[in-house]
Amino acid sequence: MNDELITKVSTKLNLKPYQVKNVIDMLSKGATIPFMSRYRKEVTGNLNEDELRNIETEYNYTVNLAKRKEDVMRLIAEKGMLTVELKNEIEKCEKLSEVEDIYLPFKEKRKTKGTEAIKLGLEPLAKIIMSLPQKTKNELAEPYLNDQVKSVDEAITNAGFIIADWISDNPKYRKWCREYYFKNGLVKSKIKKDAVDENKVYEIYYDFTQKIPFIKPHQVLAIARAEKEKVLTYSLSVESEKIIAYLEKEVLKNQEFPLKKEMQGFILDAWKRLMEPSLERDIKAELYDNASAFGIKEFGQNLENLLLTPPIKERVVMGFDPAFRTGCKLAVLDPTGQVLTIGVIYPHEPKKEVAAAEQIMLDLIQKYGVKIIAIGNGTASRESESFVANLIKKYHLAVKFVMVSEAGASVYSASPLAKKEFPDYSVEQRSAVSIGRRLQDALSELVKIDPKSIGVGLYQHDLKPKELDEELAFVVSKIVNKVGVNLNNASEAILNYVSGLNKKLITKIMNYKKTKGSFTSRAELKKALGTDALAFEQAAGFLRILNGSNPLDKTNIHPEDYALVESLAHDYNLDLNLVGTDLMREKLATLNTPELMNKYQVSKEKIELIKTNLWQGIIDPRDEVKQMTLRSDILSIADLKVGDALEGTVRNVTSFGAFVDIGLHDDALIHISQMSKEFVKHPSEILKVGDIVTAYVIKIDSEKERVSLSLIAE
């Protein structure tokens, strides 16, 4: 482990070197981020999952940067051109792009006007001209005339191509021009003459100009997509005059000499032909990279909040997958998500068997004690919502309904996992089950779906796929481990995200459950995993046994601390069978943490974790989130008027606003400007996915069925 790299990472992330060193050391030995975050707080200095991941990411980047510096210095040295000054410049670089700028002049070049001029033997002439000599072009060029270079002008012109290459490749000039471009350049987009944009999705970008420092990530992604779809042309521009003036000052050094006019032409050529197009490509790429990174982070935050949606516990739920021609599929689920029955009704066109559909629904509701109906928000959802609301009202049913996002349900329903889980069901029937289960326990159901299909991002198909996959996998793993997993009813899908487990180990766990029936203790998990002690260490604390032989197995207390807990229980007369009860709470309230730390020679973090878990038993962070609004009637856009106060659930948060489900077919928008009277940098400062908010109607567009809301009460 390189101490210099550790210091660089700790400085950049504003952390102590020991924190970075310890984290990298544990990662190298196979520790996972969830494990370190919960069970090694005293080693990491109380870092959370995101901070630990930042260390991992930044350290890997720093290692790659150091490796690239070594490679570049070696390649330049092999050419015999590595000077002490050049080496120092490379070592000072903090970005890979800076290293590449320095290496650019030493790269083997593809065929250019400059390389062709070098083949003509004109490089010495170019070097002389670059020294700004007090000689005429005839005096300079005549010694280089030959069968291939037949005139003075031809010699000077070709030498100019070599000089243009040198100016373009100069890392100092490129760095200045790039920074000037970023500070002062413009992003421009125009609609193409033959563009097809039927729904006017990109209308605001038909004639759009914005300074590069002020352009928003969602604008970059929208323009880039529109360019790809051949709706817009997308370009960058900058005041070339100021860049040319800078280059002339650097190259010509304010000197007067006979070839000054020609040199000014070479500088202009270097900028227009070489530097400007190259920098435009680089800056477009960097704008996209930054926008993609922002969009990925935004997607991850939305996914995290969605996965923390509180479960609907201990109630029978009906999943309702709407459709017209093929009928609405129904799935009645018991409180644990097991399917009690499935069915189909045809309340809509073309069959419109309303009476028969009502009777089937009534029979199912009464027979199974259905309390909540989860309606998918896809095709025919508006009509299905109306049908269910009328049914509840007509028969005075003690039933509520809620609209549930179908995003990804069809992907799951057609997947090998769904076919394995419900081999005898149709795709639509599986979808009804998934919709119902999403309401009962969003986390357990959504882990079965590719996170990109869940629908809480913006321009997700324009984001970098590899980085997006990594971010979303990290988020799912973070939440699964934070919530914990009931080992005995865990699916393979959710076990995939548990700290320390892989496919081979998951197969061992599933086979053990098949042969033994269920786990009675975490100690049995050790048997199932075999000799893999590291996997048991990393996974055990996140896998719960709810009705096992050891009451500690349902808590977040790690088995490595059971002996400590048992000593504490013995010394202070604690009955571990009272975990999570008021009696345990009262007993623990009398214990002094510093005294326990001193007696058992353990950290404050460990004592606090043990006390909290003995106190609360099963800790589920989702219990702290406000439950979604359940409804028994529908809302129409015709029912609304400006000024109405409505309660809704935040479905998606983007850089320009938040989309809120208020009971209409389409979500309403709260623009960032309507979130607070104070300046809001990003909507996530105010709202997150799953929040229940009261908002006020400020605009109604009946033609487009759009509603604008505000959080600001007038």
The domain 637-710 is placed in CATH, from the list 2.40.50.140, 3.40.50.1220, 3.40.50.720, 2.40.50.220, at 2.40.50.140
- Return the CA Rg of the chain: 33
Measured at the CA of 385, the angle between CA 382 and CA 386, to 5 degrees, comes to 90
**Whether the Cβ atoms of residue 24 and residue 6 lie closer than 8 Å to each other:** yes
Measured at the CA of 119, the angle between CA 153 and CA 122, to 5 degrees, comes to 40
Q: Indicate if the pLDDT at residue 623 is higher than 90.
A: no
Average of per-residue pLDDT across 413-430: 92
Give Cβ neighbours of residue 237 (< 8 Å, ≥ 6 apart).
185, 186, 188
Q: Indicate if the pLDDT at residue 430 is higher than 90.
A: yes
Q: Indicate if the pLDDT at residue 476 is higher than 70.
A: yes
CATH (residue range 114-299): 1.10.3500.10
The pLDDT assigned to 12 comes to 93
What percent of the chain stands above pLDDT 90?
Answer: 78
pLDDT band at 1 (very low <50, low <70, confident <90, very high): low
Query: Which spans in 45-112 are helix H?
Result: 49-78, 84-92, 96-103
Can you state the angle between helices 49-78 and 96-103, rounded to 10 degrees?
Answer: 10
Average of per-residue pLDDT across 38-58: 95
Q: Indicate if the pLDDT at residue 64 is higher than 80.
A: yes
| Structure-model confidence comparison of residues 640 and 459, the more confident one | 640
Residue ranges covered by each domain of the chain = 3-105, 114-299, 317-440, 479-623, 637-710
pLDDT tens-digit map of 80-119? 999 999 999 999 999 898 999 899 888 887 888 999 999 9
Q: Indicate if the pLDDT at residue 75 is higher than 70.
A: yes
Average of per-residue pLDDT across 213-240: 93
Give Cβ neighbours of residue 474 (< 8 Å, ≥ 6 apart).
33, 49, 53, 300
Can you state the angle between helices 593-600 and 562-571, rounded to 10 degrees?
Answer: 120
pLDDT tens-digit map of 281-307? 999 999 999 999 999 999 999 899 889
CATH class of the domain comprising 317-440: alpha beta
Average of per-residue pLDDT across 187-195: 94
pLDDT tens-digit map of 256-288? 999 999 999 999 999 999 999 999 999 999 999
Q: Is the dihedral of CA 62, 65, 69, 74 positive or negative?
A: positive
Average pLDDT, the chain: 92
Phi/psi for 278 (5° steps) reads -65, -45
CATH superfamily, region 479-623 = Tex RuvX-like domain-like (1.10.150.310)
The pLDDT assigned to 638 comes to 83
pTM assigned to the model: 0.84
**Whether the Cβ atoms of residue 122 and residue 153 lie closer than 8 Å to each other:** no
Lowest mean pLDDT segment, chosen from 184-198, 220-234, 405-419:
405-419
**Whether the Cβ atoms of residue 418 and residue 430 lie closer than 8 Å to each other:** yes
Can you state the angle between helices 96-103 and 84-92, rounded to 10 degrees?
Answer: 160
pLDDT tens-digit map of 665-682? 778 999 999 999 999 989
CATH (residue range 3-105): 1.10.10.650
Query: Which spans in 210-275 are helix H?
Result: 217-228, 240-252, 260-269
Count Cβ atoms below 10 Å from residue 188 Cβ, excluding itself: 17
pLDDT band at 658 (very low <50, low <70, confident <90, very high): very high
Q: Indicate if the pLDDT at residue 646 is higher than 90.
A: no
Q: What is the distance, to the nearest Å, from the Cα of residue 605 to the centroid of all Cα atoms in its chain? A: 30
Distance, in Å, from the CA atom of 183 to the CA atom of 459, rounded to the nearest integer, reads 26
Cis before 258 (ω within 30): no
Give Cβ neighbours of residue 698 (< 8 Å, ≥ 6 apart).
642, 674, 708, 709, 710
Q: Is the dihedral of CA 455, 457, 459, 463 positive or negative?
A: negative
